[in-house]
Amino acid sequence: MDYDLLVIGGGVNGAAIARDAQGRGLETLLVEKNDLASGTSSASTKLIHGGLRYLETYEFRLVRAALKEREILMSSAPHIIWPMRFYLPHSAEQRPRWMIRAGLFLYDNLARRELLPGSRGVRFSKEFTSINPLKSNYRNGFVYSDCWVQDARLVALMAQDLVARGGRVLTRTEVTSARRSKNETHWNFTLRDENGDLLHGQAKAVVNAAGPWADKVDSNVVAKNRPGQLRHVRGSHIIVPKIEGVEHSFLLQNTDGRVIFMIPYEEDFTLIGTTDVNHEGEPDQVRCSDDEAAYLCQAVSRYLESPLSTDQIVWRYSGVRPLLFEEGKAASKVSRDYSFSMEGSIEKAPLLSVYGGKLTAARELAEDALKHFEGILTMSEPWTASSVLPGGDMGLDFDARMKELREAAPDLEQKVLFRWLRNYGSYAFGMAESPGPCLGDGVYEAELKHVKTNEFAKRANDYLWRRSKMGLRVSPETLLKIEEYFG
Give contact residues for ligand FAD (rule: CB under 6 A).
Answer: 8-14, 31-34, 38-41, 43-47, 49, 174-175, 209-213, 217, 221, 235, 274, 319, 321-322, 357-360
The nearest distance, CB 151 to ligand FAD, in angstroms, is: 7
The nearest distance, CB 46 to ligand FAD, in angstroms, is: 6
The nearest distance, CB 202 to ligand FAD, in angstroms, is: 17
Listed residue (19, 378, 391) closest to 168, CA to CA: 19
Contact status, residue 7 vs residue 211, Cβ threshold 8 Å: no
The nearest distance, CB 320 to ligand FAD, in angstroms, is: 6
With b for 16 or more beta-carbon neighbours within 10 A and e for fewer, the 86-113 pattern comes to bbbbbeeebeeeeebeebbebbbebbeb
Asked whether the CA dihedral 122, 64, 111, 426 is positive or negative, the reply is: negative
Question: What's the rounded Cα separation, in Å, for the pair 79 and 169?
Answer: 23
> What three-state secondary structure class fits 275?
coil
Contact status, residue 20 vs residue 12, Cβ threshold 8 Å: no
Instruction: Specify the residue, 61 or 403, whose C-beta has the smaller distance to ligand FAD.
Output: 61
Instruction: Specify the residue, 297 or 479, whose C-beta has the smaller distance to ligand FAD.
Output: 297
DSSP string, 383-403: -GGG---TT-TT-S-HHHHHH
Question: What's the rounded Cα separation, in Å, for the pair 219 and 398?
Answer: 46
The nearest distance, CB 354 to ligand FAD, in angstroms, is: 7
Instruction: Specify the residue, 103 or 211, whose C-beta has the smaller distance to ligand FAD.
Output: 211
Q: How far, in whole angstroms, is CA 453 from its chain's centroid?
A: 22
Instruction: Specify the residue, 212 or 264, whose C-beta has the smaller distance to ligand FAD.
Output: 212
The nearest distance, CB 298 to ligand FAD, in angstroms, is: 18
355 Cβ neighbours under 8 A, 6+ residues apart: 214, 229, 230, 322, 324, 338, 339, 340, 341
Contact status, residue 7 vs residue 209, Cβ threshold 8 Å: yes
CB atoms near residue 81 (< 10 Å): 26
Contact status, residue 305 vs residue 254, Cβ threshold 8 Å: no
The nearest distance, CB 74 to ligand FAD, in angstroms, is: 13
Instruction: Specify the residue, 38 or 478, whose C-beta has the smaller distance to ligand FAD.
Output: 38
Distances in Å between the Cα of 26 and the Cα atoms of 204, 302, 343, 379 are: 10, 53, 19, 7
Helices and strands in the chain: count of H runs, count of E runs: 14, 20
The nearest distance, CB 178 to ligand FAD, in angstroms, is: 9
Instruction: Specify the residue, 3 or 213, whose C-beta has the smaller distance to ligand FAD.
Output: 213
Apex 298 CA angle, 295 and 304, nearest 5? 145
Instruction: Specify the residue, 159 or 460, whose C-beta has the smaller distance to ligand FAD.
Output: 159
Instruction: Specify the residue, 360 or 478, whose C-beta has the smaller distance to ligand FAD.
Output: 360
Contact status, residue 251 vs residue 87, Cβ threshold 8 Å: yes
Instruction: Specify the residue, 121 or 201, whose C-beta has the smaller distance to ligand FAD.
Output: 201
Contact status, residue 23 vs residue 387, Cβ threshold 8 Å: yes
Instruction: Specify the residue, 33 or 401, whose C-beta has the smaller distance to ligand FAD.
Output: 33
- Where does residue 477 rank: exposed (0-12), middle (13-18), buried (19+ CB within 10 A)? exposed
Instruction: Specify the residue, 171 or 478, whose C-beta has the smaller distance to ligand FAD.
Output: 171
The nearest distance, CB 285 to ligand FAD, in angstroms, is: 13
The nearest distance, CB 415 to ligand FAD, in angstroms, is: 26
The nearest distance, CB 217 to ligand FAD, in angstroms, is: 5
Question: What's the rounded Cα separation, in Å, for the pair 257 and 137?
Answer: 20
Instruction: Specify the residue, 9 or 392, whose C-beta has the smaller distance to ligand FAD.
Output: 9
| Phi, psi of 318, deg, nearest 5 | -150, 150
Task: Show the beta-strand stretches assigned E in 404-478.
Answer: 438-440, 443-444
The nearest distance, CB 95 to ligand FAD, in angstroms, is: 21
The nearest distance, CB 49 to ligand FAD, in angstroms, is: 6
CB atoms near residue 469 (< 10 Å): 20
Instruction: Specify the residue, 57 or 91, whose C-beta has the smaller distance to ligand FAD.
Output: 57
Identity of the amino acid at 485:
Y
